[in-house]
Amino acid sequence: MSGDHRAAPPRPGHELEPEGSRKPGRLASLAKLTPWGLKRQVAGLESRLGGMGARVAATEARLDHLESGLRTVQDELALARDQRLGPAERRLDAVERALGEVGEEAARLRDRVLPASIARTDALVERLAEEIEETSSLVERCLRGEPLPVAPAGAVDEPRLAAALAAVQPQLLASFRGGEHEIRNRLDRYLPDLAKASPVLDLGCGRGELLLMLQEAGIEATGVEADPSLAGAARRRGLRVIEGDALATLRGQPDGHWGAVTAIHLFEHLEPLGLLDLLAELRRVLRAGGLLIAECPNPHSLRVGAALFWLDPTHRRPLLPETLELFLQSAGFELARRELLHPFPADQLLAVDEAPVREGGDPGLAALVDRVERLRRRLDELLNGPRDFAVWAVRPGGSSTS
């Protein structure tokens, strides 16, 4: 059996391929190693590499776009930091400072200004109440027909007083009446009414400002002035002026001759009895429907009644508009209207420069500022009311001027 050349059977899992089936695989492998096979493999690799290059280029383009967007965002953030954040911080600092100033001012008003103002107001109101009580007593006596209390005869030496004041009369006029330009501006309001009531008699015409304005407007007018130097100065300006006392001059005028009479800052220089006599004569010399215009300092303004009124030593006593109107009605006049004139300049009022309370601020602080402002306005009404008042009155019997 040793000479037996038959092949041994293959082991399981190691069966031999048929000889014919192994030949094509080997040929394919050998074909790949040929020049043209290698060339095809290289071409395939190049094709695959070309596709990968396109993908790499697209990826790089997207990266470039992302980097450009990132730089834009960084630039905008830097711009916001440099141009917006800084001003916003400065504005916030300014708001904080303003709120601090408002708080300090509110504390100052609460702790210092308000207590002092209230104390001063209480004192002034108490004094005003005394004046009103005295005036009410006088009014009641007038209504009952009782004689008013007047200074004893001879208590004031009128000629001696006039002689003593003559030397300082120009200074008094400059100090208390103001310059001519200022006086003309104040008197402009009366021209429309006086233009319809010629001829006009101006009592206490002084330097003749109103007479000159009436003359320029073509309105016939005559003045009455007790001071010889002022009367002479007015005549030198071509004005018609009667030198003498107002009451004595009126007593020499015929009945119903004048269309209008003006008394600008005259009545406060008279005692009550003299004023009542003057009003009776005024009614007599005015024609039916004739107009009387009287202007006086306003005692309802405590600054005027308690202080400024007494700057002029020739003033007798403050004359309340209610008292003057009562005297006019008692003398037979019909009241037409009353106006408050010549307010104090804004820089002389109690107003203060306050930082405005911004929206969204402290409601309690806003309410405090509002209360302070209302109190300031009320104090201004009491302390710094208009300096003068004017009353228009008409003699019955004709059309009234309103």
Cβ count within 10 A of residue 170: 14
Q: Render pLDDT for 135-156 as a digit per residue (tens, 0 to 9).
A: 777 667 666 666 655 555 445 5
Can you tell me the distance from the alpha carbon of 37 to that of 43, in angstroms, rounded to the nearest whole number? Answer: 10
Which segment of 42-56, 135-149, 329-343, 347-361 scores lowest on mean pLDDT? 347-361
Q: Which residues contact 191 (CB under 8 A, 6 or more apart)?
A: 213, 214, 217, 219
What pLDDT is stored for residue 400 in this prediction? 44
Q: Render pLDDT for 69-103 as a digit per residue (tens, 0 to 9).
A: 898 988 888 887 777 777 888 888 888 888 888 88
Angle at 375 between CA 374 and CA 381, to 5 degrees: 95
User: Would you place residue 171 in the very low, low, confident or very high pLDDT band (cuts 50, 70, 90)?
Assistant: low
Q: Find residue 292's DSSP bridge partners.
A: 261, 393
* pLDDT at 131 > cutoff 80: no
User: Would you place residue 27 in the very low, low, confident or very high pLDDT band (cuts 50, 70, 90)?
Assistant: confident
User: Would you place residue 265 in the very low, low, confident or very high pLDDT band (cuts 50, 70, 90)?
Assistant: very high
Number of H helices, E strands in the chain: 15, 7
Average pLDDT over residues 356-377: 72
Nearest to 225 by CA among 237, 238, 207, 200: 207
Tell me which range, 6-10, 40-44, 330-334, is most confidently predicted by mean pLDDT: 330-334
Q: Scanning the structure block, which residue is given the tokens 């109101």?
A: 125
Can you tell me the distance from the alpha carbon of 250 to that of 292, in angstroms, rounded to the nearest whole number? Answer: 14
Angle of helix 169-176 versus helix 228-236 axis, rounded to 10:
70
CA atoms within 13 A on the CB side of 367: 3
User: Between 398 and 39, where is the model more confident?
Assistant: 39
Cα distances (Å, whole numbers) of residue 199 to 185, 244, 261, 262: 22, 19, 9, 11
Average pLDDT over residues 300-304: 89
* pLDDT at 124 > cutoff 80: no
Contact of 307 with 298, CB cutoff 8 Å? no
pTM attached to this predicted model: 0.57
CA atoms within 13 A on the CB side of 385: 16
| DSSP label at residue 223 | E
Tell me which range, 108-112, 164-168, 207-211, is most confidently predicted by mean pLDDT: 207-211
Q: Which residues contact 209 (CB under 8 A, 6 or more apart)?
A: 180, 183, 184, 187
Can you tell me the distance from the alpha carbon of 347 to that of 202, in angstroms, rounded to the nearest whole number? Answer: 34
Contact of 106 with 368, CB cutoff 8 Å? yes
